[in-house]
C-alpha cells in the first residue's frame, strides 16, 4: 500500500489548487491545459503583458527568495488589464474591504505575494471571462472558486506557471473580482513560493574521501540477495556522488500520497577513508515518493528529492555500477 510522505511546511502549488476547487462553489473557467507559445497575447491598452523571458531571469547568484521576488514581479506584470480599467493605489474600501487580503493563501513563510488593484467596467463574470481569453499562453488555468459573503460574492481565477526545480515550487497568478456598484473591483496577486537553500551543515562534508555503495531489498523481492557493497576511493567519483546528493532540493513540502514502497533503496555511506566512521549516509528510496534520507554524523537531516527524481538510478550511473533496479512486483529491472 502507498505511504504518505509528510514534510514540515504546508503544501503549495497543489494545495492552492485544492483550496480553490474546494471553495463554496467552483467557478467554471475556460481552458485547463498548458499551452506553449513564444510570447504573450493581450490587449493594446494600458495593460502590461511582458513575458517571463530569459533576459528577465534573476542572476544565478540570487538567493531563492530573491528569485521568487523577481518572478512575482514578472508574473504581476503579466496581468492583462481590461479595456477601460484604472489602477488603484490600494485596496478599495467598498464591499467591506474584501479585497484587502488575497482570496487564497499558503501557510508557509517562504512565500512572496505581490498584489495590485483595479476597477474595470462591467460585471465580474464578464471581466473574468475577458481575462480567461487574454491569459498569456505560458500560463495554465488551474482552478477557480466563488465565495459568497454578506450581500456580495467574490469570484477567483487561478493560473500557474511550471515550477523551477529545486528553487521555486509554486508560481501563481490569481485574479479575484467582486461587484462594486456598476463596475468590478479586481485584486491581482502574484504568489511565488521558494525552496530554501540547503545550508552547508545539511550537505555531505568535504572531508569524505571514500564512499560505500550498497543496496537494500525489501520483502517484496522474494528473498533475492542484493549486490555486494562496493567501496569507491577514486576521488573524482566520490566528489561526483557527493555533489549529486548536495545538489538535491529539499523534499516538496506538504502531505503527498505516494505509490507503494516496499523498502528497496540504494545507500551511500561517505567516510574519510575506507573503514573510517561514517560522515554521512544517504538512503535513496527506489519506489514510493523516491525521497532521499540523509544523516550527517548520525543526525537526521531534512528529506531530499521527491517524486520523479529517480535518485537511485542516478547514483548507480554516477558510481559506474550496472546493478539492476528492483521492481515493485519483485522482478529486477534494468538500471
Q: What is the 3-state secondary structure (H, E, C) of the chain?
A: CEEEEECCCCCCHHHHHHHHHCCCECCCCCCCCCCCCCCCCCCCCCCCCCCCCHHHCCCCCCCHHHHHHHHHHHHHHCCCCCCCCEEECCCCCCHHHHHHCCCCCCCCCCEEEEEEEEEEECCHHHHHHHHHHCCCCCCEEEEEEEEECCCCEEEEEEEECCCECCCEEEEEEEEEEEEECCEEEEEEEEEEEECCCCCHHHCCCCCCCEEEEEEECCHHHCCCCCCCCEEECCHHHHHHHHHHHHCCCECCCCEEEEEECCCCEEEEEEECCCCCCEEEEEEEECCCCCEEEEEECCEECCCEECCCCCHHHHHHHHHCCCCCEECCCCCEECC
- How would you class 4 by CB atoms within 10 Å of its CB: exposed for 0-12, middle for 13-18, buried for 19 or more? exposed
| Predicted local distance difference test score (pLDDT) of residue 11 | 40
| Predicted local distance difference test score (pLDDT) of residue 137 | 93
pLDDT classification of 164: cutoffs 50, 70, 90: confident
Residues contacting 225, CB < 8 A, separation 6+ = 217
Residue 17 clears pLDDT 60, i.e. is over it: no
- Distance, in Å, from the CA atom of 52 to the CA atom of 168, rounded to the nearest integer, reads 14
| Predicted local distance difference test score (pLDDT) of residue 106 | 75
| Predicted local distance difference test score (pLDDT) of residue 80 | 94
Residues contacting 92, CB < 8 A, separation 6+ = 99, 117, 119, 180, 185
Q: Rounded mean pLDDT of 194-222? A: 88
Q: Rounded mean pLDDT of 139-167? A: 88
- Distance, in Å, from the CA atom of 139 to the CA atom of 172, rounded to the nearest integer, reads 9
Q: For 137-141, 247-251, 273-277, which range has the lowest pLDDT when averaged over its residues? A: 247-251
Residue 86 clears pLDDT 50, i.e. is over it: yes
| Predicted local distance difference test score (pLDDT) of residue 205 | 95
Residue 171 clears pLDDT 50, i.e. is over it: yes
**Mean pLDDT of the chain, nearest integer:** 79
pLDDT classification of 136: cutoffs 50, 70, 90: very high
Tell me whether strands 183-194 and 111-121 are parallel, antiparallel or unpaired.
antiparallel
Residue 212 clears pLDDT 50, i.e. is over it: yes
| Predicted local distance difference test score (pLDDT) of residue 263 | 85
pLDDT classification of 152: cutoffs 50, 70, 90: confident
- Distance, in Å, from the CA atom of 125 to the CA atom of 127, rounded to the nearest integer, reads 6
| Predicted local distance difference test score (pLDDT) of residue 249 | 80
Q: Which cell numbers in the block locate residue 104? A: 487564497
**CA nearest neighbour of 85 among 156, 180, 172:** 180
- Distance, in Å, from the CA atom of 247 to the CA atom of 174, rounded to the nearest integer, reads 32
Task: Using the CB atoms, write b or e for 260-285: b if 16+ within 10 Å.
Answer: ebbebbbbbbbbeeeeeebbbbbbbb
Q: Rounded mean pLDDT of 113-126? A: 95
Residue 27 clears pLDDT 90, i.e. is over it: no
Helix axes 311-319, 235-246, angle to 10 degrees: 170
Residue 160 clears pLDDT 60, i.e. is over it: yes
Q: Which cell numbers in the block locate residue 33? A: 491545459
Residue 56 clears pLDDT 70, i.e. is over it: no
Q: Rounded mean pLDDT of 285-298? A: 91
pLDDT classification of 220: cutoffs 50, 70, 90: confident
Q: Rounded mean pLDDT of 108-130? A: 93
Q: Rounded mean pLDDT of 163-177? A: 88
Q: For 28-32, 142-146, 152-156, which range has the lowest pLDDT when averaged over its residues? A: 28-32
**Whole-model pTM?**
0.56
pLDDT classification of 60: cutoffs 50, 70, 90: low
Which range among 9-13, 96-100, 279-283, 331-335 has the greatest average pLDDT? 279-283
**CA nearest neighbour of 100 among 178, 21, 26, 34:** 178
| Predicted local distance difference test score (pLDDT) of residue 271 | 97
pLDDT classification of 138: cutoffs 50, 70, 90: very high
- Distance, in Å, from the CA atom of 186 to the CA atom of 88, rounded to the nearest integer, reads 10
Q: pLDDT higher for 62 or 57?
A: 62
Amino acid at each position: 500500500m502507498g505511504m504518505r510522505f509528510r514534510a514540515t511546511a504546508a503544501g503549495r502549488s497543489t494545495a492552492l489548487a485544492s483550496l480553490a476547487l474546494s471553495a463554496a462553489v467552483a467557478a467554471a473557467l475556460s481552458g485547463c491545459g498548458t499551452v506553449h507559445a513564444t510570447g504573450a497575447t493581450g490587449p493594446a491598452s494600458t495593460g502590461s503583458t511582458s513575458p517571463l523571458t530569459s533576459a528577465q531571469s534573476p542572476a544565478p547568484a540570487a538567493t531563492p527568495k530573491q528569485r521568487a521576488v523577481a518572478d512575482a514581479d514578472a508574473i504581476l506584470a503579466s496581468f492583462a488589464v481590461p479595456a477601460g480599467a484604472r489602477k488603484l493605489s490600494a485596496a478599495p474600501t467598498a464591499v467591506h474591504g474584501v479585497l484587502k487580503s488575497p482570496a487564497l493563501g499558503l501557510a508557509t513563510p517562504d512565500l512572496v505575494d505581490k498584489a495590485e488593484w483595479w476597477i474595470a467596467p462591467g460585471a465580474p463574470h464578464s471581466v473574468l471571462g475577458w481575462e480567461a481569453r487574454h491569459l498569456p499562453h505560458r500560463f495554465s488555468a488551474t482552478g477557480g472558486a466563488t465565495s459568497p459573503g454578506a450581500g456580495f460574492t467574490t469570484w477567483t481565477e487561478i493560473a500557474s506557471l511550471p515550477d523551477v526545480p529545486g528553487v521555486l515550487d509554486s508560481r501563481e497568478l490569481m485574479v479575484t473580482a467582486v461587484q462594486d456598484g456598476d463596475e468590478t473591483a479586481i485584486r491581482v496577486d502574484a504568489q511565488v513560493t521558494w525552496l530554501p537553500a540547503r545550508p552547508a551543515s545539511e550537505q555531505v562534508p568535504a572531508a569524505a574521501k571514500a564512499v560505500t555503495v550498497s543496496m537494500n531489498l525489501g520483502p517484496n523481492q522474494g528473498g533475492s540477495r542484493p549486490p555486494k557493497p562496493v567501496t569507491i576511493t577514486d576521488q573524482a567519483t566520490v566528489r561526483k556522488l557527493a555533489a549529486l546528493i548536495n545538489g538535491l532540493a529539499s523534499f516538496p513540502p506538504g502531505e503527498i500520497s505516494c505509490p507503494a514502497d516496499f523498502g528497496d533503496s540504494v545507500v551511500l555511506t561517505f567516510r574519510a577513508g575506507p573503514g573510517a566512521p561514517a560522515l554521512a549516509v544517504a538512503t535513496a528510496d527506489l519506489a514510493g515518493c523516491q525521497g532521499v534520507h540523509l544523516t550527517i554524523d548520525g543526525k537526521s537531516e531534512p528529506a531530499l528529492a521527491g517524486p520523479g527524481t529517480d535518485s537511485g538510478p542516478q547514483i548507480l550511473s554516477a558510481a559506474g555500477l550496472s546493478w539492476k533496479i528492483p521492481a515493485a512486483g519483485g522482478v529486477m529491472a534494468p538500471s
